[in-house]
Structure 1
Amino acid sequence: MEREQALKIVKEQLTDHRFQHTLGVMETAISLAKQYGADEKKAETAAIFHDYAKFRSKDEMRQIILNQNFPQDLLHYHAELWHAPAGAYLVELEAGIKDKEVLDAIRYHTSGRPGMTLLEKIIYLADYIEPGRHFPGVDEVRALAKENLNTALIQAVKNTILFLMKKNQPVYPDSFKTYNDLVMRQED
């Protein structure tokens, strides 16, 4: 699918603010893909569609998670996580994207997972560091991303976990598993 067609489809699903975020994620993902040797077109597509389900109702996302046999434990955690797996499903169903790598990059862009692919890492990180993001720690991760993708990703996941802990919110287990996997692989 061409960029303009994909952006048109996504724009109908998002607020203007979220669409601007999506454009920032797209540009960041393409840049990271160039830097780290990933498929730029797949990075572009995954970035464009990463928040496709962001504004779907919680009931719709809950039903998708239940009906598609996604991990049911997701439903016990913040609904903010739900748009990623629900989005991957809806992007395939409604936009006709069939590429498993692209769909998985969308599916895991909020929680991460152990053994993340290069494309999954790029989308997770691009979502975190796109230019419109402004929060404590983001500039550090942006700087790290220029040097080492995995180091930047470890810091991004750590910052997310610490943020949730400071707010006394539960942390989805796959986020801890992602952090542990990245740190353990870095030691090898």
Structure 2
Amino acid sequence: MQMDYTAEREKIVNKLAQKVKGEKFDHSLGVEQTALALARRYGADREKAGLAGLLHDYTKQMDNVAMAEKYGIPYLTEKTLHGHTAAALLKEKGYVTDEEVLGAIRWHTTGRAGMSLLEKIVFIADYVEPNRDFPGVELARELAFADIDKAVLLVLKTTIGHVVKNKGLIDTDSVEAYNDYRRLFPGEEI
């Protein structure tokens, strides 16, 4: 049976604290609060946003390669795998059964073409939550509350640029998401 976010938040936080330690735990709380604020701003379901934001990194500090093999999840890079494994594990344990929440958890690192509003909210919240501090985060925070689609494009552009600069592999879902959102704003400097 899926956890009831409002009624069981304390229990969910305690369960998360057993899996996610240190700065990553603080990050999860920050993503939860940011997702709630973005849900309020854009009229999304706050219960789902809070739950997805809180649990998005549930498997971040686990062996994601072994879990990918267990669940048959294909991947290009281990770095973005934890969203997919978290969704699979949370569903298997019955902690989260809502497919919209699972999708927001699954796609929070790479994005995807055609994201739902909840998926966009968690994707953006993961990037702009208050514990994040890097060049450009303030602009992304402002844009997140002004135009979520432009914020998605900015985050994808910045993230892909960072991966290229560091000679990493770009997840194909991120490339498809970038192209999808770039089509919304052809020629605009974002």
User: What TM-score, normalized by structure 2, do the two folds share?
Assistant: 0.90
Cα distance, 1:133 vs structure 2: 0.5
8 A contact 1:154–1:179 mirrored in 2? yes
CA distance in 1, matches of 2:146, 2:52: 23
Cα distance, 1:95 vs structure 2: 4.8
CA distance in 1, matches of 2:185, 2:15: 38
Name the aligned partner's letter for residue 28 of structure 1: T
CA distance in 2, matches of 1:90, 1:186: 36
Which residue number corresponds to residue 30 of structure 1?
Answer: 36
8 A contact 1:158–1:179 mirrored in 2? yes
CA distance in 2, matches of 1:107, 1:64: 16
Which residue number corresponds to residue 64 of structure 1?
Answer: 70
**Is 2:25 aligned against 1:9?**
no
CA distance in 2, matches of 1:87, 1:121: 17
Moved beyond 6 Å, runs of 4+: none
Name the aligned partner's letter for residue 148 of structure 2: L
Identity %: 38
Which residue number corresponds to residue 53 of structure 2?
Answer: 47
Cα distance, 1:146 vs structure 2: 2.1
Distance 1:58 1:101, change over 3 A: closer
Name the aligned partner's letter for residue 23 of structure 2: H
Aligned length: 180
CA distance in 2, matches of 1:165, 1:38: 33
Alignment root-mean-square deviation, CA: 1.3
Which moved further from structure 2: 92-101 or 81-90? 92-101
8 A contact 2:71–2:88 mirrored in 1? no
Which residue number corresponds to residue 161 of structure 2?
Answer: 162
8 A contact 2:164–2:170 mirrored in 1? yes
Q: CA-to-partner distance for each residue in 1:125-184, whole Å, 9 max, x for gaps?
A: 000000000112211101111211111111011000000001111111110110111121
Alignment of 1:29-178 (within 5 A): 29-66=35-72, 70=73, 72=74, 74=75, 77-178=76-177
User: What TM-score, normalized by structure 1, do the two folds share?
Assistant: 0.91
Name the aligned partner's letter for residue 17 of structure 2: K
